[in-house]
Structure 1
């Protein structure tokens, strides 16, 4: 799951928006670095990532990528799941996607305004870009997912093959979209159970 899914899960489970968003930017034990509510969100984010990566249908989806691209499949699929969520947003939330993004931006700002919260520099940079450039709204078009993957591939030679994963997503679009329907239902159920502990 990518940014939109993690924020939607935060809203669905009534957990920290910033914690669920921070998950990819915080390494190690977050307990001594953030307030309890944010820590809970980080741990939920990590749980969701682990649950998704091990899900049988995600393992099946990865097999549709050529062997030389399979190690990059999780990144491409995470972006694709966000596309499916954004493209069918009205099925998942009462607010419009634009209004939800505004809500998420405000929630993150409020939760991280405390002096004791020291945010990773990379998170602060990405957080600003996500809202300023409307990344999440752009996920509604698969062409923007393909473009984002191409941009990510240019960061280093090691990531270069990621540029070709967008073609796989488009080639098997309906198969992946069908997988998302069942996958995300399972993710939401598991997320609610995890956050209720």
Structure 2
């Protein structure tokens, strides 16, 4: 799951949206660095990453990727699941995608301070102004995002090879999304309930 799914899962679980976005930018024990709500959001983000990467449905999808693309399958699939969520948004939320994005931006932006990780602040600026979350509805924007990510370092260059797999296996991969996401929502809600009651 990528940014859109993490925000939607956070909202579904009544978890802190900022914390769930921060998940990839914080190392170590978040409870030593942030308030309880944000810390729990970071923990929920990590939980979602963990269960998604090893989910039986995702394991069924990974063999579609071969050669150099296989190593980057988890990243490509995370982006693809955001595409599926954006495309099938009305199945999972009563508000429109545009309404949710506006709400999420307002919620996160209210908590922005210079004390947050610089890489996160850069992401925050670019993601909302660039309309990334809405753009995920179109598959070609997933290709663009993968290309952008592949330029971060030489070791990421082969990430671009994964888009051909997503395109060629689109129907089969898309068909698996609904069951996967419903299960992730259920497990995430239960996990967050345990967090706030502990």
Report if TM-score (shorter chain) is over 0.5: yes
Contact 1:69 1:162 in 2 (8 A): yes
Which runs of 5 or more residues in structure 1 are unaligned? none
CA distance in 2, matches of 1:20, 1:94: 21
The one of 176, 190, 194 equivalent to 1:193 is 190
> Following TM superposition, by how much is the alpha carbon of 1:122 offset from its aligned partner in structure 2, in angstroms?
0.3
Determine the structure 1 residue equivalent to 2:141.
Answer: 144
Determine the structure 2 residue equivalent to 1:43.
Answer: 43
Contact 2:68 2:161 in 1 (8 A): no
CA distance in 2, matches of 1:109, 1:156: 29
Structure 1: which 4+ aligned runs deviate by more than 3 Å?
none
Contact 1:33 1:118 in 2 (8 A): no
Which runs of 5 or more residues in structure 2 are unaligned? none
Q: Which moved more, 1:11-20 or 1:60-69?
A: 60-69
> Following TM superposition, by how much is the alpha carbon of 1:69 offset from its aligned partner in structure 2, in angstroms?
1.3
Structure 1 or 2: larger helix share?
2
CA distance in 2, matches of 1:185, 1:52: 12
Give CA-to-partner distance per residue, 1:30-80, whole Å, 9 cap, x none: 112111000000000000000001101111111100132111000000000
> Following TM superposition, by how much is the alpha carbon of 1:111 offset from its aligned partner in structure 2, in angstroms?
3.3
Contact 2:16 2:41 in 1 (8 A): yes
Contact 1:154 1:160 in 2 (8 A): yes
Contact 2:17 2:104 in 1 (8 A): yes
- What value does the CA root-mean-square deviation take over the aligned residues? 1.1
CA distance in 2, matches of 1:17, 1:156: 28
Q: TM-score, normalised by structure 1?
A: 0.95
Give CA-to-partner distance per residue, 1:129-151, whole Å, 9 cap, x none: 11001001100000110111112
Contact 1:65 1:73 in 2 (8 A): yes
Determine the structure 1 residue equivalent to 2:158.
Answer: 161
CA distance in 1, matches of 2:173, 2:69: 16
